[in-house]
Amino acid sequence: MQEITPEDRYHIIKAQMDADKKSLESQKAHQDLDRLMLELDYKYGLITTGSTIDPRSGNIVPPQKSDHKNNGRDKDIMLEDTVVTATN
């Protein structure tokens, strides 16, 4: 069986490290986008209304109607219950 030369092994490891670096850069860019979207949602008061900003078009998107059943409870009340539960 033939062994990989040290030079080829170096190129393989370097390529893997480059791929890992690009993956981390991509994750950072996505995190930066999420942070900016949160700041803009706060700036335009969209957090309380449930609306969001579409990052591709820059348009404000109204809240989505959910088919999720919440047993007649208001979404805001459910959020308050969650916050109270989390702090206890």
Query: Where do the domains of the chain lie?
Result: 6-87
- pLDDT tens-digit profile of 35-83? 999 999 999 999 889 899 999 999 999 988 766 666 656 555 555 555 5
- Asked whether the CA dihedral 42, 48, 54, 60 is positive or negative, the reply is negative
> How many CA within 13 A on the CB side of residue 69?
1
pTM over 0.85: no
Q: What pLDDT score was predicted for residue 75?
A: 56
> How many CA within 13 A on the CB side of residue 59?
4
Q: What pLDDT score was predicted for residue 16?
A: 99
- Check residues 71 and 29 and name the one with the higher pLDDT: 29
Q: Which amino acid is at 56?
A: R
Q: What pLDDT score was predicted for residue 15?
A: 99
Q: What pLDDT score was predicted for residue 65?
A: 76
